[in-house]
Chains A and B, each alone.
Chain A
Amino acid sequence: MKKIIFAVAFLVFFSFLMVSAINMRTFGEPTVSEMDDYFIENAQKETGANNVVTSIVFDYRGFDTLGEATVLFTAVVGIVALFRGVKK
């Protein structure tokens, strides 16, 4: 009984996934692309860096990188606190 319920639920869910995958727009053509066009046009001129990805990560969205660095720092602090009893 359980297996039948799971099979029916899986089929319904999977058919929804397939239908939405078929109805999706073609690859590489986003619906709204003003922001991408702005970055591609102006990133090299404004930040002076050739690598547009780095100029987004470290300049336009610097806050995001600050958060990532802080998350890594917090992870290290947690691990050091977890292993504090370990002596040589």
Chain B
Amino acid sequence: MNGMSKIVKTVANFVYGFIIIFGFYIIVHGHLTPGGGFQGGAVAASAFALVLISYGSVTSQKFLKKDIFSLFESLGLTLFILLAFSGLGITFFYNFLANSGNWFGNATVIGVNSGDMNTGGLIPLMNIAVGLEVLSALGVIVLIMAKGAEFTKKKENS
């Protein structure tokens, strides 16, 4: 795959960053608006798929590294499990930060309100961990399958 035409590459250059920013917006606002770690991670991973399709698998291997994605994936899952264990003073998965006044610990206004980023306790942190994991997991799947398709095509032609 040598990538698509110049028009597609230009549009991909323009849109790529916006898709990633939108994905991170969905991840970070998971406790206020619809969405969360899984959905935002899938949105951000679609940007990597866009780059892979528009630039071709050979060129995009230069700026999308599989090893870094793999590292971030393990990091996300480990962070999630550590956050789950951190509430072990009471129970597994206990939300000890909520309404405590510390990090993400403001009390919410009950009922309809405009939303405060600094609420939710462990939920935003877990959203970030799961979002990191999903983003890099889908990135690894897309990258490695494109590499495998390239390999198969080369083998069939020779």
Contacts and interface: CB of A to CB of B under 8 A. Distances in A.
A73 B77 contact: yes
Nearest to B106: A48
Interface string B130-145: 1001100100110011
B103 to A, nearest CB: 12
Interface of A is mostly: helix
Interface stretch (A2-10, A29-37, A76-84): A76-84
Given A63-B93, A73-B77, A48 B105 contact: yes
Contacts of B30: 51, 54, 58
Interface residues of A, number: 31
Interface residues of B, number: 49
Contact of B145 (A73, A75, A79): A79
A11 interface: no
B36 A54 contact: yes
Contact of A47 (B33, B74, B123): B123
Given A44-B108, A51-B33, A58-B126, A66 B81 contact: yes
Contact of B119 (A48, A59, A66, A73): A48
Given A49-B32, A51-B30, 7 more contacts: A46-B98, A53-B36, A58-B36, A59-B93, A69-B76, A69-B77, A72-B137
Interface of A: 44-51, 53-55, 57-59, 62-63, 65-66, 68-70, 72-73, 75-76, 79-80, 83, 86-88
Interface of B: 30-34, 36-38, 61, 70, 73-74, 76-77, 80-81, 84, 92-93, 95, 98-99, 104-108, 110-111, 113, 115, 119-123, 126-127, 130, 133-134, 137, 140-141, 144-145, 147-148, 151
